[in-house]
Amino acid sequence: MGLKRLLLRSLPAESKERIGLKLLRSASPEVRAMTDLFLPPSRSLGFFPPNWESGTGPAIYALYGLCRALRPEIVVETGSGRGFSTCALALACRQNGKGKVYAIDPHSQHIEWNQSKGVDTYEFLLDRLRDYDLTPTWCEVIRATTAEAAPHWHTPVDLLFIDGNHRYEGVKLDFETFRPWLGEYSVVAFHDSMHLRHGPPNPWDDPLERSPMGVPRFLEELKASGYHLVTVVKDAPGLTLLSANPGGPLFLPPL
């Protein structure tokens, strides 16, 4: 028996797991992405994912699974921040072998919905995409607001993820901007759809009107207009899916 094999056999299982994880992450950008996105921190394994500073929460699994299942050609994300959801969507496209994410965000340190105040989210996002080998094939970062990006957009959208300016006007602008580019079976995902719907009720404060969170209010308007909605992550902040056309098919084409 070789010395290396003998040393490995003498190591505790925990040490072997730590070494194995380190080797896998070193060898594969895809493994780095999967572990950074979906593996919780582990002191025993010596693994600590990047500080995403994201409020996406459990919706990350739903977004990733949705993209894997739908196999979209074009994914548009409004609001990227440090790129937690961006990387998950781009990774899903890479594993599908098709599709591309267009991540739209001004990455301004002064806008109210940027959680990473004083941090250059643009460079952080680019670093992560490069480390996971997701750019430029699987993701393109567009450093602009939705209003700035809109005049240059001319491509049908299969999956639209809205997670930018959470005020009512901002959410509505994101949706209205890309609505003309949504096809019959396109899907729109709204983050923060359950925000402010949990906790003790306040009789003096309507959660649908409370500023700055306008997502629930806008979704109520879409529902009243005949759009089909389903909330797939009910715990706050929530994730709700919308069929692209009022009164249209329930998300998926017939078999």
Average pLDDT over residues 75-101: 98
Q: Give the tokens for residue 65.
A: 């699974």
**Tens digit of each residue's pLDDT (9 = 90 or more) over 194-237:** 876 544 444 434 444 444 689 999 999 999 999 989 999 988 88
Whole-angstrom CA distances from 117 to 37, 110, 114, 165, 227 are 22, 7, 6, 15, 36
Q: What is the pTM of this model?
A: 0.86
Which class is 59-243 in CATH?
alpha beta
**Tens digit of each residue's pLDDT (9 = 90 or more) over 172-188:** 999 999 999 999 889 99
- Minimum mean pLDDT range among 46-50, 107-111, 126-130: 107-111
Q: How confident is the model at residue 169 (pLDDT cuts 50, 70, 90)?
A: very high
132 against 44, higher pLDDT: 132
Domain boundaries, the chain: 12-49, 59-243
pLDDT at 17 over 80: no
